[in-house]
Amino acid sequence: MVGSMSAVPVQPAAAPTELCPVAFQDFHSPEPFPLELGGVLPELTLRYETYGTLLPDKSNAILVPHALSGDHHVAGRYRPDDVKPGWWDVFVGPGKAIDTDRFFVIGVNCIGGCKGSTGPLSIDPRTGRRFGGYFPEITLGDIVRAQRMVVRHLGIAKLHAVVGGSMGGMQALLWCADYPREVGRIAVLAAGLSQSPMAIALNAVSRACVEKDPYFRGGHYEPGAGPDTGLAVGRMLAHISYLSSAAFDQKFGRAKVPGAQPGDPVHWQVESYLDHQGEAFVKRFDANSWLRITRAVDRFDMTARAAAGTLFRGDGPDVLAVGFSSDWLYPTSELRMLLAAATAVGVNAAYHEVITDAGHDGFLLPDTGLSVRLHAFLG
């Protein structure tokens, strides 16, 4: 089934209200957590948030894995005066596409991250010092296996759905492949069956920016004294790939910074915007986490399993693939390939294309028609 949606505002049936206050929780396992590439974490902490009420039969749970630089804070505000709500608040909450009046929504900060789950900034109990550059390499499979521990901790045997965009969509595919009887449906937004060579190349240059910063020190730096310049420049590069050419034209054109003179270091508004994105990212993210997670994304490759007919199964989860017309990081052709692999083995699958100039970041933005499609798919 193929359809298209134009970028028009969606009017909900009833005015949604905002989740506030929300709070995070920590799941802790004292047991060693073996990793797919041979490393091991001596213990594991996973920070997560939940929204809505879990039904007595626990049949209404939806997991929302985050994208590369996201975290467990999917929706709502911790305090009414918080400047920003959670990263997918436009779609998650009372009366929204993922309706917390009906569903119990779970967000988990991935391992290797820097927002409360075990990662490079965590203390290694074996040494009493931060892991830092000694934090082992991880895969998206490790991240999903850790998420599953939280789901089991909550007493949920089968998720109603896993819904994710970008890296979150890759995790949804892994849930479908590795735990097909534990999820009813998956929605994959702005992601493909593998990381493309171009996307790997962009990540490689972004990582090089960090690793060549003299303050990186092989990953052994103290918080606040790390490779801030390298991380900022790496994020600036990555951010270019999140927008389309049309989005840059519409947002900035050739506008100059007010008062800028021809010889000023920052002359164009697009330069100022990217500088701001880099500086803001350094304040909320860790360089070692950036390296580990981008490499985990680059390793993601489900093409062989799709070709062998083992990625999807006829009695497995329903599939919704959503592509964004101007996304050049994960083109719509990759979502169509995903659909073809699913339908080839008899999966109840659909593809919808959102017509937008927003680029890859389209899955994060409101007014794309995505709310209607997600609401219908979730039932």
- Are both 318 and 172 inside the same structural domain? yes
Q: Print the domain residue range for 273.
A: 200-294
pLDDT in tens, the chain (379 residues): 444 333 434 444 445 678 999 999 999 999 999 999 999 999 999 999 999 999 999 999 999 999 999 999 999 999 999 999 999 999 999 999 999 999 999 999 999 999 999 999 999 999 999 999 999 999 999 999 999 999 999 999 999 999 999 999 999 999 999 999 999 999 999 999 999 999 999 999 999 999 999 999 999 999 999 999 999 999 999 999 999 999 999 999 999 999 888 888 888 999 999 999 999 999 999 999 999 999 999 999 999 999 999 999 999 999 999 999 999 999 999 999 999 999 999 999 999 999 999 999 999 998 668 899 999 999 9
Catalytic, 360? Answer yes
Task: Measure the CA–CA gap between 236 and 123, rounded to whole angstroms.
Answer: 29
Final residue of a structural domain among 259, 294, 329: 294
What's the confidence (pLDDT) of residue 15?
Answer: 53
Q: Of the listed 99, 360, 371, 375, which one is catalytic?
A: 360
Distances (CA, A) of 28 to 38, 91, 117, 127, 218: 21, 29, 9, 19, 29
DSSP collapsed to 3 states, the chain: CEEEEECCCCCCCCCCCCCCCCCEEEEEECCCEECCCCCEECCEEEEEEEECCCCCCCCCEEECCCCCCCCCCCCCCCCCCCCCCCCCCCCEECCCCEECCCCEEEEECCCCCCCCCCCCCCEECCCCEECHHHCCCCCHHHHHHHHHHHHHHCCCCCECEEEEECHHHHHHHHHHHHCHHHECEEEEECCCCECCHHHHHHHHHHHHHHHCCCCCHHHCCCCCCCCHHHHHHHHHHHHHHHCCHHHHHHHCCCCECCCCCCCCCCCEHHHHHHHHHHHHHHHHCCHHHHHHHHHHHHHCECHHHHHHCCCCCCCCCEEEEEEECCCCCCCHHHHHHHHHHHHHCCCCEEEEEEECCCHHHHHHCCCCCHHHHHHHHHC
- Are both 187 and 54 inside the same structural domain? yes
Q: What is the CATH number of the domain that holds 122?
A: 3.40.50.1820
- Are both 255 and 330 inside the same structural domain? no
Catalytic, 333? Answer no
Does residue 145 contact residue 34 with C-beta atoms inside 8 Å? no
- Are both 264 and 347 inside the same structural domain? no
- Are both 263 and 158 inside the same structural domain? no
- Are both 135 and 260 inside the same structural domain? no
> Up-side HSE of residue 126: CA atoms within 13 Å toward CB?
8
What's the confidence (pLDDT) of residue 368?
Answer: 64
Task: Measure the CA–CA gap between 237 and 350, rounded to whole angstroms.
Answer: 33
Q: Of the listed 117, 166, 244, 289, which one is catalytic?
A: 166
- Domains in the chain: how many in total? 2
Task: Measure the CA–CA gap between 66 and 373, rounded to whole angstroms.
Answer: 19
Task: Measure the CA–CA gap between 78 and 32, rounded to whole angstroms.
Answer: 32
What's the confidence (pLDDT) of residue 13?
Answer: 43
- Are both 84 and 172 inside the same structural domain? yes
Task: Measure the CA–CA gap between 319 and 331, rounded to whole angstroms.
Answer: 18
Q: Of the listed 99, 142, 228, 327, which one is catalytic?
A: 327
What's the confidence (pLDDT) of residue 127?
Answer: 97
Task: Measure the CA–CA gap between 13 and 76, rounded to whole angstroms.
Answer: 20
Final residue of a structural domain among 276, 294, 312: 294
Does residue 206 contact residue 235 with C-beta atoms inside 8 Å? yes
What's the confidence (pLDDT) of residue 313?
Answer: 93
Q: Is the overall model pTM greater than 0.85, yes or no? A: yes
- Are both 239 and 350 inside the same structural domain? no
- Are both 288 and 305 inside the same structural domain? no
Final residue of a structural domain among 261, 294, 327: 294
Catalytic, 245? Answer no
